Structure 1
């Protein structure tokens, strides 16, 4: 019985050896293809990461510029809203002035009689 199995195996030996050679070569080719594709994917991902980093830095620079502009606008607003400036504009443009104590008239409310 062992001889029969040995003969069957020997008769199939060329097929097995051919299949093994093809599988080895196909495996090596597949492994090479996987390595090449993996390298391309890594290069593409690195490029995408660099592009995203550049865009992020540009947005940070824009935010910094906008913050500086906002601070300048707040300073300008506080300067324009200063009381001495408003008083000066009122005197120059609207010809307004402070009243003197002599010009003030204080009116007291009249008391109603309770009838």
Structure 2
């Protein structure tokens, strides 16, 4: 009878340890999931910002904008066709 009580006690301790391990594992899983969600949100925000930056870059790099900046800021003009020399090989 004494051995049975000892066996039951050991099983009780094992079940409790297992329950605590499950609780800890579930808690860690929730923490990791919350961190994953934060990282996914950050990734989405960065992708949106990247798209905006690409659009801005394409706007700044348009041919008309470059030509306007060259003529207004640098006082550059297209050469006159009379002064242009074309070299043929």
TM-score by length of 1: 0.70
Give the direction of change, closer, same or farther, for the CA distance of 1:60–1:107 in structure 2 (3 Å limit).
Answer: closer
Q: CA RMSD in A?
A: 1.7
Question: Which residue matches 1:49?
Answer: 29
- Runs of 4+, deviation exceeding 6 Å: none
Question: Which residue matches 1:106?
Answer: 85
Instruction: Map Cα deviations across residues 21-46 of structure 1 (whole Å, 9 max, x no partner).
Output: 11111011111111111111100000
Matches within 5 A, 1:73-92: 73-92=53-72
Q: Decide which structure has the larger Cα Rg and report it.
A: 1
| Mapped partners of 2:86, 2:7: distance in 1 | 108
Higher relative contact order (CA 8 A, sep 6+): 2
